[in-house]
Amino acid sequence: MTNANTVKKKVAEVIQEVLGAETGLAGLDPKTPLKAVSAIDSLTALRIMVALENKFKLKFEASNLEETFHSVETLARYIEARIGQGAAR
Amino acid sequence: MTFVHPRDFIRNATRRSPGKTAVISAGEPVSYAALNDLIGALARRLKAAGVGAGDTVALSFPNSLEFVVAFYAAMQVGAVVFPVSPKLTGKELAGLLVDAQADCVIHPKGAPQPLAAFQSAGVRIALQLGFSGSDLLLEPAVLRVRPLAADKPARVRTRYQTVVRQYSSGSTGTPKHMLKTSRNLFHDAWHFAASLGLTEKEVFLGAAPFYHNYGLLSLLTAGYLGATLVVVKQFLPHAVLEHIRKDHVTAWLATPAMLEILADCYLDQTPSLPSLRCCVSSTAPLTKAVFERFHRRFGLPVFQVYGSTESATNTVQKITDYTDETLVGTPMPGIEVQIFDEHFRRLPRGRVGRVGVKAPSACDGYLHNAAASAQTFRAGYVFPGDLGHLDAQGALHVVGRDNVINVGGMKVDALEVERVLNSHPAVAESLVYGSADGNGQKLSAAVVARSGGLTVAELLDHCWARLSDYKLPKVIHIVDTLPRDEHGKIVRKAIEEHVRRPRGSTPEKSLKNS
């Protein structure tokens, strides 16, 4: 499994943990908009953000939360970029 | 204590300390003199546009300098300010504008102008407000949607000047419409400041939404005291910590959800926050777990405040060592809290009953809703729908609530969400409920389909178009039946067990995520 796929898998696991097991993110296409799976309001987005921060040991400095939280893939892309920056950790 | 009309808060503070920083917005300090000038300039533009005494002016802004300026300018022309969430859908906003008989809408420059919705709601004037350049020039774009009407309906008159319209969710399925007077707002700011020992030296962090009663309190208290208000447009944990540190914030009106996010966010090093001496939690119960995580991380006490949109803030307790989940504090100065039975007879200390609050900050009733008013306002008391008791020291303990679901401090009326779900042509009936979610509640729904093929994605699409994001169910179960008692009445408290049963053991089936 590639590193990108590992990040996506971890992102999906974290989101599922926050939203509740019944949301059933696992097995979905990472490009599926999260709002088709559950209603991600601003508070839920913050909770997911905090869980992802702790999982990947980085700080979110998202200026556009809506775009970043579009799907598992967009979140994974953001996290990979942050990890790549190194200094952002 | 001397009564001060809230419209004069900024003018008075300007007289005392014109050069003092009134607002820090987007990192830029604005002095009281500059703020007063901006308010005066907008008030003149409002007058010129035909907005005057008794008109209702809706403000649809995120937390911003624009909101602060528009709030005071509208009051200065004698209008009634009607703060609304900028997240409302066009249909939700139009519904509120109609109910409030709004005459004018002010919203951010550059935002979409839903003129059709404004027009259908009977709005006469729409203005876009923004600032440009370092001089903070006003650029209101006046757009007359339709001419001023000579036959405006008679205004509701109250004993004190009405200055704010607000809505509160309730269990009836209809938002309840309230008028707040100058006296209500003054007393809310005054007894909040007095009970917490706040002074003109405070630097307030304005992170809770100003369109909400609680967020508005930080704006009003800062103005009343002549203190500084740091405007936070969007709550993001690391940015908030930076504001507290850099702007030397001393007072923060937070919600338990905000405290939880700060307690849990990733930090490589816990920042020291020596200036923050008054961290307040309100809008939802602060659980022991959240308090302890926050306290462990930052070493700060939390002032828990209890209140309601109807009665404003009513009791307070300083928590340094969390001992009792039900305790919400002792009444603030000038506020009386009593416990009543179902026939509105006062109960002695220790007995559990309906919580009643008598406060000069409380409004008199709901507009156009006599039935709900009769339930909530009685004999000078407000009954916010809580069950509780007073202990031997006179402190209030809240032990139960009504059917309103508290999602991170935002009250969601289950019936309103059910009405939207039920309006989907493939839905036979639904039940919306709060399920446990860490230390709070998660909005969940069980939906009975009229026929097969209904998907969760379809339902979410349907809801997204009709409800604000915080009112959207986080989890939707599609089931064959709802739990009912022998009389056919839906048993709300049985729903979680009902949807949890494994497929095949009950009539319901899970079509989620299909």
The identity of residue B25, as a single letter, is: S
Q: What is the ipTM of this complex?
A: 0.87
Reference B278, options B236, B245, B249, B312; nearest CA is B249
Specify whether the CB–CB gap between A13 and A24 falls below 8 A. no
CA distances in angstroms from B96 to B59, B92, B141, listed in the order given: 12, 6, 23
Tokens 């307030």: give the residue.
Answer: B204
Which tokens hold the place of B25?
């917005």
**Token pair of B340 as six digits:** 């009543």
What residues have CB less than 8 Å from A58, skipping those under 6 apart? A79, A82, A83, A88, A89, B266
Which residues of chain B have a CB within 8 Å of the CB of A22? 475, 477, 512
More confident position, B422 or A38:
B422
Whole-Å CA distances, B342 to A39, A51, B346, B355, B362: 38, 44, 10, 11, 21
pLDDT of residue B245: 95
The three-state secondary structure class of B446 is strand
Which residues of chain B does A39 touch, with a Cβ-Cβ cutoff of 8 Å? 443, 460, 463-464, 469, 472-474
Q: What's the rounded Cα separation, in Å, for the pair B23 and B277?
A: 19
Partnered with residue B23 across adjacent β-strands are: B30, B229
Q: What single string gives the DSSP state of each residue in B325-342?
A: TTEEEEEPTT-EEEEE-T
Q: How close B146 gets to chain A, by Cα (Å)?
A: 35
**Residues of chain B contacting A, Cβ within 8 Å:** 234-238, 257, 261, 264-268, 407-408, 410, 437-438, 442-443, 456-457, 460-461, 463-464, 469-470, 472-475, 477, 512-513
Chain A residue nearest residue B436, CA to CA: A20
CB–CB contact A46 B512 (8 Å): no
Whole-number Å distance between alpha carbons of A49 and A59: 9
**CA dist B110 → B84, B106, B113, B153, B342 (Å):** 18, 12, 8, 32, 52
Closest residue to B460, CB basis, from A36, A44, A60: A36
Query: Per the CB < 8 Å rule, is B469 touching A60?
Result: no
> How far is B78 from chain A, CA to nearest CA, in Å?
35
Residues A36-64 have a mean pLDDT of 82
Alpha carbon distances (Å) from A42 to A48, B57, B130, B235, B513 = 10, 27, 24, 9, 22
Q: Is residue B88 within 8 Å of residue B99, measured between CB atoms?
A: no
Which ranges of chain B have pLDDT less than 70?
A: 132-159, 169-174, 400-403, 438-439, 485-490, 501-514
Q: Which of B266, B474, B477 is opposite residue A53, by nearest beta carbon?
A: B266
Residues on A contacting B at a C-beta cutoff of 8 Å: 19-20, 22-24, 28, 35-44, 46-47, 49-50, 53-54, 57-62, 65, 89
Which of residues A89 and B10 earns the better pLDDT score? B10
- The whole-angstrom separation of Cα A78 and Cα A62 is 9
Q: Kindly give, in sequence order, each residue whose CB lies less than 8 Å from that of residue B275, ignoring residues fewer than 6 positions away.
A: B203, B244, B245, B248, B249, B250
Q: How far apart are CA B202 and CA B193, in angstroms?
A: 10
What pLDDT is recorded for position A74?
92
Burial of B497 (C-beta count, 10 Å sphere; 0-12/13-18/19+): exposed
Other Cβ atoms within 10 Å of B89 Cβ, number: 17
Q: What pLDDT sits at residue B142?
A: 63
- Assign A29 a pLDDT band (cuts: 50, 70, 90): confident
Contact in structure between B398 and B285 (CB atoms under 8 Å): yes
The residue of chain B nearest to residue A56, with distances taken between CA atoms, is: B266
Burial of B423 (0-12, 13-18, 19+ CB in 10 A): exposed
Distance of CA B35 to the CA centre of its chain: 25
State residue B3's pLDDT score.
93
